[in-house]
Amino acid sequence: MRILVISDIHANYPALEAVLKDAGAVDETWCLGDLVGYGPDPNAVIELIREIPNLTCLLGNHDVAVLGKIPFEAFNGDARRTLTYHEKVLTADNMEFLRSLQSNLKVREDVSLVHGSPRDSVWEYILNTLSARLNFDHFTTPWCFVGHSHIQCIFQLDEKTDRVNLKQIKVGEPIRLEPKLIANPGSVGQPRDRDPRAAYAIYDTLARTWEPRRVEYNIPEVQQRIREAGLPEKHAVRIAEGW
C-alpha cells in the first residue's frame, strides 16, 4: 500500500491542500496529530481531514489542549493566544471529531504511530540521537513514525553496536526501511528545519520505503489570514523562513 504520512498541520489550510494534491492517490493517510495551534484556519483544516478516506489520525499536544485536557499555561504566550482563539472559533462538530481521536501510541502492522515519542505520546520531542536512543526501547515494531518536532528526519539504531545515527535523507528519494528506526515526516503547516515548504512523507508498505517530500504553497495568503485573525506576528513570520 501507498500511505501518506502527515503531521503538525497547525491550522494551515493552504499547506494541507498542497500536500494532499502533491501526494496524489494513496491507499491510506496517517496523521500524527496537531491539527490545531499556531495557524488561522482550524475549522477548515479539520473539515478537510474529516473528508479523507481510510484515515488514521492521532491527537497532538495542541489538540489535547484545545479539548481542555492540558492547561493553556503549559504553552508559551504566543501559542497560548492562538489556542484561546481556536477554542472560541472551533465548531461543535469539529470539537467532537477531536474528542473521537486518541493520543496514545497506535500500532499498524510493522509501524508504531505516535505524536511526540513512544515514551511520552504527547509532550516529548525526539530532537537528537540521545533522545532517540532512549525511545527505541519503548516500541516493539521495526519502525516508529513520530511528529511534534516539525523536523523531517530519520534516526536509525544499529542493534549490534547500540548506536543511533541520524540518517541522511534527500527530498524525493525513497529510503529503504530497515529495523530499527524512528522517522519523522516533518510539519505540514509550520516546518522548523529552515525549509518553509510543507513537509510530508510517503510510506510504501510493499517496497518498505519512506520517501520524504516537500511542496510549496501560498505562504503570503496564510500570513495575511494570521494577521487578519489577530494572531501573533511571530507565527506569520516563521512560516516564511522555516523556523
- pTM reported for the whole predicted model: 0.97
- What pLDDT was estimated at residue 155? 98
The grid coordinates of residue 5 equal: 504520512
23, 213 in Cβ contact below 8 A?
yes
Confidence band for 34, pLDDT divided at 50, 70 and 90: very high
Which pLDDT belongs to residue 88? 98
Total structural domains within the chain:
1
- The share of the chain scoring above pLDDT 90, in percent, equals 100
So what's the pLDDT on residue 115?
98
Helix (H) or strand (E) holding 104: none
pLDDT computed for residue 61 by the predictor:
98
Kindly list the strands in the beta sheet with 198-204, ordered across the sheet, starting from the edge strand earlier in the chain: 55-57, 28-31, 2-6, 198-204, 209-215, 175-176
User: Residue 198 sits in a domain of what CATH number?
Assistant: 3.60.21.10
pLDDT digits (tens, 9 = 90+) for 146-197: 999 999 999 999 999 999 999 999 999 999 999 999 999 999 999 999 999 9
Quote the pLDDT of residue 186: 98
Q: pLDDT band for position 113 (50/70/90)?
A: very high
pLDDT the model gives residue 153: 98
Spell out where 36-137 has E strands. Answer: 55-57, 106-108, 111-113
Residue span of the structural domain in which 237 resides: 2-241
